[in-house]
Amino acid sequence: MSNDIHGKSFSELIKGETPVLVDFYADWCAPCRMMPPILKELKNRMGDHIHILKIDTEKNPDVAIRYQVRGIPTLILFRHGHVLWQQAGVMQAPQLEATIREKLARHEEMTK
């Protein structure tokens, strides 16, 4: 994660210009433990074009409930405060990158 996200609240981050991918997880979840290296690879691929946050559903149940997280891991892509995409389960970095780029491109077209 880049340094400019520190000190900002969750709501400030997801309303920003830079897309934010949020990984909802729990420490006891085996598939969730597969995500950190995948997200690191994604960050290496996309660099400053995306922020990546991890939210522990055990410690932040209100946020998980607000976004209807029913299974973990769940990935949610935000931009300008809008949910652009949401999916439960593990995805590999190349597919995740392609999905994110597609959703961002579609969002750009719709907001023109």
Catalytic residues: 29, 32
Q: Is 33 exposed, middle or buried (0-12, 13-18, 19+ CB in 10 A)?
A: middle
Under a CB-based contact definition with an 8 Å cutoff, are residues 67 and 86 in contact?
yes
Longest dimension (CA), the chain: 43
For residue 81, what are the contacts with CB-CB under 8 A and spacing of at least 6?
11, 14, 15
Measured distance CA(38)–CA(47) in Å, rounded:
14
